[in-house]
Structure 1
Amino acid sequence: MSEVNKGQMPTDEQLTAFIDGELDAADCERIERLIADDERVAERFDFLSRSALPFAEAFQPMLAEAPAAKLDAMLAAIPSARENKTRAAGIGRRGFLTAVAASFVAAIAIDRAVIGIGHRLSKPDEDSEWRAVVAEYLSLYTTDTLSAPAGDHAQQVAQLNGVGAKLGLSLAPEAIAMPGVEFKRAQILNYDSKPLVQIAYLDPESGPMALCIVQSTKGAAAPDMENRRGMNVVYWSSATHAFMLIGHAPIDRMQQLAADIRARLVA
């Protein structure tokens, strides 16, 4: 894990490593000061601590790989200032993180946080929950989150073959390419004990964008639109999979990009 730069907004990876007890003492101290002094960092830390999405799986090995003693040592080293601030809101952070650590060690899943759903353009449907979870997760992304190089063509093929195999879906760089939008990575997340493929992009005009796919038995459905957490979403289903394209680009551009990808993936 790279050193946490003083005064800078920590990345999701750094906050996850802090929660997992994988930073050294100096970086832990800097992260703790940022949490205490910057409300944005505190909010992101609280979200990553309680979310049901597998952030550790997405960025690093799960906390279950670490001994409970290491977690106890990390918690014991946390100064009291932030703890007092959190307790003022109704719960001590030490008590909350201890519960999180116990959940990992005991392999107990944390209950999913209640997620506010902001439908703007369409009525709710029975498959909307996974899209809400994806939107919650992607809302944390910044341009810096996707700043790492995407790798060469062979590496992209390997990534896409790997995630596609998890869903029984054939994916290729040419099939998921979008004009003017840079492919950054493909990874597997875990939603309700099922694989969720996230293909991340960086749009130079609007920022992070993602194509997400899960297996579905609901049957084919034509594209529809909605807005979640300030992002535009185009979603549709084939006979075997559900898809969503989410990002900050205008809805007409999102529709065109989704139509191009849908035509290639269904073909």
Structure 2
Amino acid sequence: MSTKHTIPSDEDLTAFIDGELTPEEAARIEAIVNEDESTAERLEFLARASLPFEQAFAPLLAEAPRQKLQTMLAAIPAQPSEKSNAAPAFASRRRFLGALAASLVAGIAIDRAVIGRSFSAKDENSEWRAVVADYISLYTPETLAGPVPERDVQASQLAGLDEKLGLSLSPEAVSLPGIDFKRALMLQYDGKPLAQVAYLDPETGPMALCIVRSDAGPKAPDLESRNGMNVVYWSNGTHAFMLIGHAAADRMTAIAEGVRGKVAV
């Protein structure tokens, strides 16, 4: 396979989105995006990835974002796709980058931890689980590398979740047997707080316990598969919970059952 047609890696696509490629490489990737639907879909997914990148954007805001983003946009020719008479999918990505540039130039910090999908009470639990699965699927063991935080650090992080969600979580309540606690952080889904407690399982990799407020009513634990991961989900009268990871279904179910009684509110 020639270099011209080599399918770009996620690292290449991310560098393309961030404007870190040479004009020649950017043009090569754009050509592949216009010809290969799966690559185009992957690029669009990475462009809207719902990871908490607020800190990652801080250096960009501090170091002349106008110049860097204008360079990025200039490297993306606005040519219509020959595959369809409709507006090309890449045009929507170009508009996305343009909107991002405008926001940064205006001094607005973009926090990709804000997950902007709307939902109704009827499909609330299904929709937010789908969004969580999207960004957890991007986690690798390296994402959660580093030492396990001390108990007082864990307690401090969990206290921030308690304040937003009306919970009372302790390090002991969210501990998972044989699995390392890595961090607890507050995200946002459709304007509502979304708590995430991230773990690293030495056997299967990243795992997360996520919680949102919910008035959909109590629901017994159930199991589903999303993005190649197993999800155990349940709810009580005030909150919806999900435990997501790569462990086998029976192990995920057992872990969820253990934590469910400890995080009851």
Displacement, 1:167?
Answer: 1.3
C-alpha distance in 2 between matches for 1:76 and 1:152: 47
C-alpha distance in 1 between matches for 2:140 and 2:99: 29
Q: Name which of 100, 103, 114 aligns with 2:96.
A: 100
C-alpha distance in 2 between matches for 1:239 and 1:62: 42
C-alpha distance in 2 between matches for 1:164 and 1:131: 20
Q: Which residue of 1 aligns with 2:133?
A: 135
Q: Which residue of 1 aligns with 2:228?
A: 230
Answering whether residue 204 of structure 2 is matched by residue 206 of structure 1, we say yes
Displacement, 1:212?
Answer: 0.6
How many correspondences in the alignment?
237
Secondary structure of 1:157's partner? Answer: helix
Q: Which residue of 2 aligns with 1:56?
A: 53
In 1, are the aligned partners of 2:149 and 2:181 still within 8 Å (CA)?
no
Q: Deviations over 1:236-256 (max 9, x none)?
A: 112211000011111111111
C-alpha distance in 1 between matches for 2:198 and 2:39: 23
Which residues of structure 1 form unaligned runs of 5+? 1-6, 22-26, 114-123
Identical amino acids, percent of aligned pairs: 48
Question: Partner amino acid for 1:163?
Answer: L
Question: Partner amino acid for 1:198?
Answer: Q
Q: Which residue of 1 aligns with 2:179?
A: 181
C-alpha distance in 2 between matches for 1:111 and 1:62: 24
Displacement, 1:137?
Answer: 1.5
Q: Deviations over 1:171-225 (max 9, x none)?
A: 2211111011111112222211111111111111111111111011122222111
Question: Partner amino acid for 1:193?
Answer: G
Counterparts of 1:11-90 in structure 2 under 5 Å? 15=14, 19=17, 27-29=20-22, 32=26, 44-51=42-49, 53=50, 55-57=52-54, 59-61=56-58, 68=66, 70-77=68-75, 87=81
Across the aligned residues of Structure 1 and Structure 2, the Cα RMSD in angstroms comes to 4.0
Displacement, 1:150?
Answer: 3.8
In 2, are the aligned partners of 1:58 and 1:189 still within 8 Å (CA)?
no
Shift in CA distance, 208/132, structure 1 to aligned 2, threshold 3 Å = same
Question: Partner amino acid for 1:56?
Answer: F
In 2, are the aligned partners of 1:68 and 1:101 still within 8 Å (CA)?
no
Q: Which residue of 2 aligns with 1:171?
A: 169
C-alpha distance in 2 between matches for 1:47 and 1:32: 18
Shift in CA distance, 192/208, structure 1 to aligned 2, threshold 3 Å = same
User: TM-score, normalising length from structure 1?
Assistant: 0.70
Which residues of structure 2 form unaligned runs of 5+? 1-7
C-alpha distance in 2 between matches for 1:63 and 1:225: 40
Answering whether residue 218 of structure 2 is matched by residue 217 of structure 1, we say no
C-alpha distance in 1 between matches for 2:82 and 2:153: 49
Answering whether residue 11 of structure 2 is matched by residue 10 of structure 1, we say yes
User: TM-score, normalising length from structure 2?
Assistant: 0.71
Q: Which residue of 2 aligns with 1:118?
A: none
